[in-house]
Amino acid sequence: MRTRMNREDRRAAILDTAIAVIGERGFRGFSIRDLAMRCAMTDAGLLHHFGSKTDLLLAVLDHRDAQDEHAIAALFPADAPPRTRAEVLRVLSALVARNAERPELVRLYAMLRVEALAADHPAHRYFVTRDRLARRRFAELFGALTDTPENLARQVLAAMDGLELQWLLEDRAFDLVATWNETADRLIA
Amino acid sequence: MRTRMNREDRRAAILDTAIAVIGERGFRGFSIRDLAMRCAMTDAGLLHHFGSKTDLLLAVLDHRDAQDEHAIAALFPADAPPRTRAEVLRVLSALVARNAERPELVRLYAMLRVEALAADHPAHRYFVTRDRLARRRFAELFGALTDTPENLARQVLAAMDGLELQWLLEDRAFDLVATWNETADRLIA
DNA sequence: GTCTATAGGTAGATAGAC
DNA sequence: GTCTATCTACCTATAGAC
């Protein structure tokens, strides 16, 4: 007796499982068949919803971006007001705290970002654009704090990503947010 | 007219090419056949030297460790003398400078470290052990500078790895060593 | 919307000739 | 030591039944 799902719910369920599977094995390392089994379907059934493996990957990334849009926009308002150091630290801490609640997502992006270094990877363009945007947003955030905001943005992003990966490597054995707050306090003048 | 190689030279040549190929596609993403072609051999010929794909990966890691042993030992002497802040910064800078000359190696380790998050990855144990050792060495290095050296070690390692990955993502468009020196100066009290 | 069946390709690994 | 040939297994994707 299987529960019937409508198109939207089924797609959403597949995408959620795909986040975990791709995060574990990478885009190249996972198979449609394996993902389909975890969704209690056949591979053909799954491909009915997403035409190809590549389309599935891009759908995962789009899906996540749509979900995160509001939260990100709230932290980085378009009118970009000048910020005090305390405000900046609070924004960064909130970002990390958000990620600390979504380890599968942190893992997905860590995996794909490295895999997508290869120019022929289907997510290569996506990550080039995404990282450029992240650097720009961070540089704007730091505009009032230093005369080389691009440089600081690079270092802060690197430290943040590095610490999140370390947190996964150590099986989340330390307090990510507390440790990040310490790093940020040292890194930002 | 092909150049004949003896066993040692052939193995070394394969391992060098494997560093590049695995760094580009990951362990799961590359094929023995592709690697063999880049070495101007067949897959069967290559497997004569390394019994299996997994054995090849472990041979790559062993090979690198043997090559790096001396350089690392010189930077982290076993008698572990107390260090001044300036000495510590110099050691870290030397480590990063060394990596800046070996981008294929940085990429290999970045790729494998993420891939090997999965417990069934053939290099999983290797990286668990390796990261623990790195944290211990760094903590020893920071012993005289702070009363929470393990905590600082984690943050410095994370920032270093994160910046090296950023450097690859941006196609080495910034000066890795200079940027790292700036980060380290801020991070280490 | 999900299935079975299958096409068509590529993978890792082995056997045996040279 | 390297080759050709081959085995077995798995992959993505499609066609068509229900």
**pLDDT, tens digit (0-9, with 9 covering 90-100), for B140-157:** 999 999 999 999 999 999
pLDDT of residue A5: 86
φ, ψ of residue A80 to 5 degrees: the values are: 40, 70
Of A127, A159, A189, the CB nearest to B159: A159
Confidence label for B92 from pLDDT (cuts 50, 70 and 90):
very high
pLDDT of residue B160: 98
* Nearest chain B residue to A128, by CA: B169
Confidence label for A82 from pLDDT (cuts 50, 70 and 90):
confident
Mean pLDDT of all residues belonging to chain A: 95
**pLDDT, mean of residues A131-148:** 96
* pLDDT above 90 as % of chain A: 90
Please name the nucleotide lying closest to B51, CA to C1'.
C13
Residue A140 structure tokens = 């704007």
Quickly count: other Cβ atoms within 10 Å of residue A4's Cβ. 6
- In angstroms, the CA B35 to CA B81 distance is 44
Residue B74 structure tokens = 């010189």
Which residues are CB-contacts of B53 (< 8 A; sequence separation ≥ 6)?
Answer: B27, B32
Say yes or no for a CB contact (<8 Å) between A26 and B25: no
φ, ψ of residue A154 to 5 degrees: the values are: -60, -45
Residue B158 structure tokens = 């994370």
**pLDDT, mean of residues A129-148:** 96
What does DSSP assign to residue B25?
H
pLDDT of residue B1: 45
pLDDT of residue A182: 98
CB burial readout B43-68, b (16+ within 10 A) else e:
eeebbebbeebeebbebbbebbeeee
Of A28, A117, A160, the CB nearest to B28: A28
Which tens digit of pLDDT belongs to each residue from A43-64? 999 999 999 999 999 999 999 9
User: Is the pLDDT at A155 greater than 80, yes or no?
Assistant: yes
Residues of A in contact with B105 (CB under 8 A): none
Residue B15 structure tokens = 């391992």
pLDDT of residue B3: 59
Distance measured from the CA of protein residue B133 to the C1' of nucleotide D1, in angstroms? 39
User: Is the pLDDT at B5 greater than 90, yes or no?
Assistant: no
**pLDDT, mean of residues B31-36:** 98
Say yes or no for a CB contact (<8 Å) between A163 and B166: no
**pLDDT, mean of residues A104-116:** 98
pLDDT of residue B106: 98
Residues of B in contact with A108 (CB under 8 A): none
Q: Which residue has the tokens 């707050």?
A: A181
Question: Between vectors from CA B173 to CA B172 and to CA B176, what angle results, nearest 5°?
Answer: 60
Q: Is the CB of A44 under 7 A from strand D?
A: yes
What does DSSP assign to residue B2?
P
**pLDDT, mean of residues B164-179:** 98
* pLDDT above 70 as % of chain B: 98
Which tens digit of pLDDT belongs to each residue from A123-133? 999 999 999 99
pLDDT of residue B81: 73
User: Is the pLDDT at A136 greater than 60, yes or no?
Assistant: yes
pTM score: 0.96
For chain A, give the longest Cα–Cα distance: 64
Q: Give A62 or B189, the one with higher predicted confidence.
A: A62
In the 3-class helix/strand/coil scheme, how is B95-157 assigned residue by residue? HHHHHHCCHHHHHHHHHHHHHCCCCCCCCHHHHHHHHHHHHHHHHHHCCCCCCCHHHHHHHHH
pLDDT of residue B80: 66
φ, ψ of residue B79 to 5 degrees: the values are: -75, -5
Distance measured from the CA of protein residue B31 to the C1' of nucleotide C13, in angstroms? 13
